[in-house]
Structure 1
Amino acid sequence: MKNAAESINLNEIVETIRSVIETDSAIVPLHEPLFAGNEWQYVKECIDTRWVSSVGKYVDLFEEKLAEFTGVKRAVAVVNGTAALHICLKLVGVEQGDEVLMPALTFIATANAVSYCGAVPHFIDSEMNTLGVDAKKLRRYLSEIAEVKAEGCFNKKTGRRIKAVVPMHTFGHPVDLEGLVAVCEEFSLELIEDAAESLGSYYKGKHTGNWGRVTALSFNGNKVITTGGGGAILTNDPELGRLAKHLTTQAKLPHQWEFRHDMVGYNYRLPNINAALGCAQLETLPQFLAKKRNLAARYQAAFAKISGVTFVSESEHCTSNYWLNAILLQTEFSAKRDALLTLAHERGIMARPAWDLMYTLPMFSSFPRMDCPVAERIAASLINIPSSVNL
């Protein structure tokens, strides 16, 4: 009889992926964009009219349609998701020397944006069912290491103020937002949603981005919709929305010809030609989401029959956009992750692991963190598999 460590069949897993994606392509990308609507018409208009840079009708239209789709009061388009995160942190008052709580399991942009503020990333654990921040564990952790004063929440070990928490909706799966809102209220923390991956995802019927005071989106080429590069700031606070627009346009005051600026600003404007692409993509977003959820359902059904591996599904009360589909190897098989990745690539299937945990990177290794056994397990055993809309 084979022992458990020998019972997983890597060939079977790769063939299961191939059976679901139904494509004859020799190489299957992880996630590629699809342009099937008015993209060329809108971009050509920008070129023909020469409104290709930071001013033009498509920037305003993109912001308006994005706010309408997500249900927020204001959306501000910016040059990329990292810039959106940076401004979100500035908007809620993150200052040099503050600590900002974030998942150890995240894309590096989250930690980089905190560093741009001169603040300190403070890494926290995830939970298996959402792959995102574990609100219950975070509350227990803060009860041990934090003290709430009139000036805010402070780390008793470092003496620094803990200003905010930035949960990331991993691969489009919403985190426990109600739990995090309660933690933030108890410990006087600002909630910033890193929704870079969750356009089209809902928590208890409400689109992600409506729970934090501010939210960051990304429209990189591999996201659910793309503007080439690009991002956005979402908020339900009209004053913060106005300030976000001001900060991201060099803090320039309106004037017919003079260059007047009243604070340090940033050249984070999204060009009109990129916004034109985004407007066309937003028009087809509902169809994209339906196709992606259909693909996820097929994966889920196929992997239910395969031993040693689990397909990552949306949690209760959540509707995921399934931006990147993922499988988790059972713990006893995690050592075979790289062998599976190698085999998939040899068969033309572009799969990838999760990111390296932030505290394993040299520039962040000395920063504060809680024990992160769940994040470590996810990082060791998760594999993203092809998720393009056209599959």
Structure 2
Amino acid sequence: MSRKFIPLSVPTLKGRELEYVTHAVETEWVSTGGPYVNEFEEKLAEYVKSKGAVSVQNGTSGLHISLKVCGVTRDDEVIVPTLTFIAAVNPVKYIGAEPIFMDCDDSLCMDADKLLEFCKMECSLIDGRLINKKTQRHIKAVIIVHVFGNMANMEQIMEIADKFNIKVIEDSTEAIGTYYTEGKYKGKYAGTIGTVGVYSFNGNKIITTGGGGMIVSNDKELLRKAKHLTTQAKSDELYYIHDEIGYNYRLTNLQAAIGLAQLEQLESFIQTKRDNYKLYKEKINNIQGLSILNFEKGIRSNYWFYSLYVNDEYPLDRDEIIKYLASKKIQIRPIWGLISEQSPYVGCQAYKIEKASNYLGHVINIPCSSNLSKEDVQYVIDCLRSPEKNQ
């Protein structure tokens, strides 16, 4: 009997998804109108304790609108991480602004110390505007990505933002459910600390709507503006009067129906992923040359992705492990290629990229689905424990 395939990250659709979608179809509310859209927005805002939420087609469109409502224009610059999925950076270019790439720390999130150093040494604060000495452009915002369900150092980042008058956009597309358990922001969820936060419900996320995303903020005027822009900027819905360029970015009622059912199960998904993470960590950290990266202290992570660090003591390198586990029907992946090295961004400013380059060569993500069984986890561990014997 052949071994079943173990995917990297797939959704669990065992709740009330079918019930809610069937109701949406039966009532013929399937497009961007419909009660599930409003209910999903309300329930998600309630879950993360924000003052409101605006649904969008995906996390990328959420970031695009977030930059717009933060006032970023084509004359501005935005500080971004180099270690992230490219969708976190592309919206900067949609607007016509320029990214400045920042290194990561050991959480894989943006290095707050280097961010501070860059703002102090490479910029000038002139009339309340952070000006890049190299380009003489206004740095208006920073996009912070909470990588793999970890949490960036938001205490320090918010202090930097306040000092240098820059907007903070939290790309929390991987971190819904993650929150601080201690410190200044105890009880605050990823996405609710900065100016605006964005979540994603792509198929590989901890909860999914197939596609889709959500903008959250504690600034009600910003949320009003976001909803206006995502619904084609209608100033008069009856007579189709539009007061600026808008976007067709709204979530559909069918997607929201799925999202609502997924949100109801989020805490149980996190519990499963936490248990599997602990099992991986306990066993793999005893294998010479391998370790599972930690999540930051002082947070309750959603444990979205598990990062396996491969050092030179292990008999296989990163790429060899990927091929070897693929032969065992285990799907894994390397972390993203650094965005500052991608063709569209090669000429952009990058500041002291060091740790990100190291992690790129040594980190892979291993199976982490919310329906992953302990038997599947153990099989992955067994394959990693004796690669020579299994080859």
Q: TM-score, normalised by structure 1?
A: 0.91
Alignment of 1:74-93 (within 5 A): 74-93=52-71
Q: Is the 8 A contact 1:199 1:208 kept in 2?
A: yes
Q: Is the 8 A contact 1:331 1:377 kept in 2?
A: no
Would you say 1:293 and 2:274 are equivalent positions?
yes
In structure 1, the partner of 2:283 is: 302
Alignment of 1:246-285 (within 5 A): 246-255=228-237, 257-285=238-266
> Kindly tell me: are residues 202 and 281 of structure 1, through their superposed partners in 2, closer, same or farther at Cα, counting changes over 3 Å?
same
Alignment of 1:72-221 (within 5 A): 72-128=50-106, 130-203=107-180, 204-221=186-203
Q: AA paired with 1:239? A: E
Uncovered stretches (5+) of structure 1, i.e. residues with no partner: 1-23
Q: Is the 8 A contact 1:334 1:380 kept in 2?
A: no
Distance 1:245 1:205 in 2: 27
Deviations 1:133-169 (A, max 9, x none): 1111211122111101115101001111111111101
| SS of match in other structure, 1:207 | coil
In structure 2, the partner of 1:71 is: 49
Q: Is the 8 A contact 1:168 1:175 kept in 2?
A: yes
Would you say 1:343 and 2:324 are equivalent positions?
yes
Q: AA paired with 2:51? A: K
Q: AA paired with 2:175? A: S
Structure 1 residue 304 displacement after superposition: 2.0
Distance 1:141 1:332 in 2: 35
In structure 1, the partner of 2:207 is: 225
In structure 1, the partner of 2:356 is: 375
In structure 2, the partner of 1:15 is: none
Distance 1:254 1:274 in 2: 26
Q: Is the 8 A contact 2:42 2:53 kept in 1?
A: yes
Partner of residue 43 from structure 1, selected from 6, 21, 25: 21
Alignment of 1:308-387 (within 5 A): 308-330=289-311, 336-387=317-368
Aligned-CA RMSD value:
1.4
In structure 2, the partner of 1:34 is: 12
Distance 2:252 2:246 in 1: 17
Uncovered stretches (5+) of structure 2, i.e. residues with no partner: 181-185, 373-391
Distance 1:85 1:215 in 2: 8
| SS of match in other structure, 1:34 | coil
Deviations 1:191-234 (A, max 9, x none): 10000000111124321111110011100011000011000101
Structure 1 residue 330 displacement after superposition: 2.4
Q: AA paired with 1:373? A: E
> Kindly tell me: are residues 335 and 156 of structure 1, through their superposed partners in 2, closer, same or farther at Cα, counting changes over 3 Å?
farther
Structure 1 residue 253 displacement after superposition: 2.7
Work out the number of aligned pairs and report it.
Answer: 366
Q: Is the 8 A contact 2:130 2:164 kept in 1?
A: yes
Distance 2:219 2:197 in 1: 11
Distance 1:344 1:322 in 2: 22
Q: AA paired with 2:158? A: V
- The share of aligned pairs that are identical, in percent, is 42
Distance 1:293 1:50 in 2: 39
Distance 1:337 1:282 in 2: 35
Q: Is the 8 A contact 2:288 2:313 kept in 1?
A: no
Q: AA paired with 2:159? A: A
Structure 1 residue 25 displacement after superposition: 5.1
